[in-house]
Amino acid sequence: MTYPHDFRADRAWALAADAADPLAGLRVEFLIPPHGDAEQVYLCGNSLGLQPRATRQALIDELDDWGNLAVEAHFRGRHPWMPYHGFVRDDLAGLVGALPSEVVAMNSLSANLHLMMVSFYRPTRERHAILIERRAFPSDHYAVESQIRFHGYDPATSLIALDPDEPNGTISDAAIERALAKHGDRIALVLLPGVQYLTGQVLDLKSITRAAHARGCVVGFDLAHAVGNVPVDLHDTGCDFAVWCHYKYGNSGPGAVAGCFVHERHARSDRPRFAGWWGHDQSTRFQMGSQFVPTPGADGWQLSNPPILALAPLRVSLEIFKRAGIDRLREKSLALTAYLAWLIETQTGGALSIATPREPARRGCQLSLRVNGPRDAGRSLFEHLNARGIVGDWREPDTIRIAPTPLYNRFADCHAFVEAVKEWAAPR
Ligand SMILES: *Cc1c(COP(=O)(O)O)cnc(C)c1O
């Protein structure tokens, strides 16, 4: 272990841990928003990741290539637009543990979820249900319900919602297995998160996939809170598809182009799909025929020529991840989040409870915190933090999410957060 786990509560310990951190140099590659004359303590990378400094120039380069080369930039640009999505694809495959042919950056998360369900949710009279979690992100819930209705089924009978069964609102592996044992033969699709957005729980994608496949279900994952947060080894999980966004831990800017994974075994799938010309086989795309021949692999689900101005920030960000290494980032993240949890549990006098699982393997960067006290205590703490330039996020009705990310956060940031909590809790 490169990172210390012999935590102490004094600030000197945090500063020493930061000074010894081999990844500390990455922080200067990001723009940290100011707070007065200082910098924010930004602990909100789970919601919107910070801007890499290199992003601005990458965008200017594309604008200049457009200005100077216009249509020729497709071939002669510094990063030629024609093969552009390929530059992104290879680094993305590295980040999510997939083969390059299994991933593509396109559209937005919810749009990709629909495209994947068009191909991978094929309900029959016997098998028409989708298993999701009761507290799934609303967009996922809406997408699933609308797909069920689109096929002429009724969410009342075709949507199976998995209830949290653990005290803090997390879901045990056993609960997933029970749901599969009970409903498996009518479940067409299992759609679960890699990291649950409210609780921060990491799910075991490989064992879920194995159990669901054993019951004949198709398996898709929403990795919105997983990609760039924890290593996911998507190919190895064996899941059928996955979707995610890049504006959270992916640091690619608001509404960034999203990601999509289709397992190699479906590379030449003849499943139905919604097609567009950019999914057509590259070698004959420009013959402009009317017979759709999909490019093998995830590329075959593309619809349109890619938005270069939106891909440039993703290219920059993936380059940083490649240099840092997701496994090394995870090692730092384990220490950062364990330190934050330790400070909260030992230094805040019980002001906060942690809803996120304790086991390191069952959580990523984020800790979801409940404020003990009256109904409005949570908001009051949240406002106290904001006034001090400490940025987390608030999820109704009672959760503060705090996510130290290993790319740009420091042990000192965790320390500052807890000092502010103590200050808020003291006079009460
Ligand atoms: C962030 C998030 C979304 C957001 O969807 P967009 O299409 O990117 O707006 C959807 N689902 C989950 C689980 C998320 O965490």
Q: For residue 137, give every residue at least 6 positions away whose Cβ sits within 8 Å of its Cβ, in sequence order, or none.
A: 193, 197, 222, 224
Do the beta carbons of residue 402 and residue 421 sit within 8 Å? no
Number of residues in the chain: 428
Q: Is 331 helix (H, G, I), strand (E, B) or coil?
A: helix
Residue of the CA atom closest to atom 14 of ligand 1: 224
The bridge status of strand 129-133 relative to strand 159-162 is parallel
Q: 113 a known binding residue?
A: no
Peptide bond into 294 cis (omega under 30): no
> pLDDT grade, residue 428 (50/70/90)?
low
Q: Encode 42-66 in three state secondary structure.
A: ECECCCCCCCECHHHHHHHHHHHHH
Q: Is 375 or 421 the better-scoring residue by pLDDT?
A: 421
Q: 222 a known binding residue?
A: yes
CA of 106 to the centre of ligand 1 (A): 14
Structural domains in the chain plus CATH codes: 11-30+325-425 (3.90.1150.10), 59-322 (3.40.640.10)
Q: Can you tell me the distance from the alpha carbon of 26 to that of 144, in angstroms, rounded to the nearest whole number?
A: 39
Q: Is 32 or 372 the better-scoring residue by pLDDT?
A: 32
Q: For residue 210, give every residue at least 6 positions away whose Cβ sits within 8 Å of its Cβ, in sequence order, or none.
A: 238
Residue entry with tokens 């808020």: 424
Residue 34 pLDDT exceeds 90:
yes
Do the beta carbons of residue 202 and residue 171 sit within 8 Å? no
Mean pLDDT along residues 270-281: 94
The pLDDT, as a whole number, for residue 414 is 98
- The region of weakest confidence among 30-34, 71-75, 230-234, 394-398 is 394-398
84 phi, psi to nearest 5 deg: -55, -45
Beta bridge partners of 195: 202
Nearest atom within ligand 1 for CA of residue 193: 13
Mean pLDDT along residues 200-207: 98
Q: 376 a known binding residue?
A: no
Q: 305 a known binding residue?
A: yes
Q: For 233, left (φ over 0), alpha (ψ -120 to 50), or beta?
A: left
> What residue ranges line ligand 1, CB within 6 angstroms?
108-110, 137, 139-140, 193, 197, 222, 224-225, 245
Residue to probe by mutation, ligand 1, list 139, 198, 365, most atoms within 8 Å of CB:
139
> pLDDT grade, residue 72 (50/70/90)?
very high
Q: 225 a known binding residue?
A: yes
Q: Is 188 helix (H, G, I), strand (E, B) or coil?
A: strand
Q: Is 45 or 283 the better-scoring residue by pLDDT?
A: 45
> Nearest 10 degrees: CA dihedral of 112, 114, 120, 125?
170
Q: 380 a known binding residue?
A: no
Q: Is 187 helix (H, G, I), strand (E, B) or coil?
A: strand
The pLDDT, as a whole number, for residue 35 is 97
pLDDT digits (tens, 9 = 90+) for 83-105: 998 889 999 999 999 999 999 99
Residue of the CA atom closest to atom 15 of ligand 1: 224
Provide, rounded to the nearest whole percent, the portion of the chain with pLDDT above 90: 90
Do the beta carbons of residue 204 and residue 223 sit within 8 Å? no
Residue entry with tokens 């400094």: 53
Residue 210 pLDDT exceeds 60:
yes
Mean pLDDT along residues 188-214: 97
Residue 375 pLDDT exceeds 80:
no
Beta bridge partners of 371: 352
Provide, rounded to the nearest whole percent, the portion of the chain with pLDDT above 70: 99
CA of 352 to the centre of ligand 1 (A): 27
The pLDDT, as a whole number, for residue 388 is 96
* Lookup: tokens for 34: 């100011």
Mean pLDDT along residues 366-384: 90
Do the beta carbons of residue 108 and residue 258 sit within 8 Å? yes
Q: Is 1 or 214 the better-scoring residue by pLDDT?
A: 214
pLDDT digits (tens, 9 = 90+) for 7-32: 999 999 999 999 999 999 999 999 99
Q: For residue 16, give every residue at least 6 positions away whose Cβ sits within 8 Å of its Cβ, in sequence order, or none.
A: none
pTM strictly above 0.85: yes
- Helix or strand holding residue 138 (H, E): helix 138-150
* Lookup: tokens for 337: 């989040």
Do the beta carbons of residue 336 and residue 409 sit within 8 Å? yes
The pLDDT, as a whole number, for residue 337 is 98
Q: Can you tell me the distance from the alpha carbon of 271 to that of 265, in angstroms, rounded to the nearest whole number?
A: 12
CA of 241 to the centre of ligand 1 (A): 16
CA of 109 to the centre of ligand 1 (A): 6
The pLDDT, as a whole number, for residue 1 is 60
Q: Is 69 helix (H, G, I), strand (E, B) or coil?
A: helix
Residue of the CA atom closest to atom 2 of ligand 1: 224
Residue to probe by mutation, ligand 1, list 116, 140, 243, most atoms within 8 Å of CB:
140
Mean pLDDT along residues 287-292: 84
Q: Encode 228-268 in three state secondary structure.
A: CCCCCCHHHHCCCEEEECCCCCCCCCCCCCEEEEECHHHCC
- The region of weakest confidence among 77-86, 187-196, 338-347 is 77-86
Residue to probe by mutation, ligand 1, list 245, 247, 252, most atoms within 8 Å of CB:
245
Nearest atom within ligand 1 for CA of residue 108: 7
> pLDDT grade, residue 187 (50/70/90)?
very high
Residue 142 pLDDT exceeds 60:
yes
The pLDDT, as a whole number, for residue 397 is 79
Residue to probe by mutation, ligand 1, list 46, 48, 107, 110, most atoms within 8 Å of CB:
110
Residue entry with tokens 């297995």: 177
The pLDDT, as a whole number, for residue 106 is 97
Q: 207 a known binding residue?
A: no
Residue 284 pLDDT exceeds 90:
no
What's the chain's average pLDDT?
Answer: 96
Q: 84 a known binding residue?
A: no
The pLDDT, as a whole number, for residue 427 is 64
Q: Which amino acid is at 50?
A: L
Nearest atom within ligand 1 for CA of residue 197: 15
CA of 134 to the centre of ligand 1 (A): 16
Q: Is 367 helix (H, G, I), strand (E, B) or coil?
A: strand
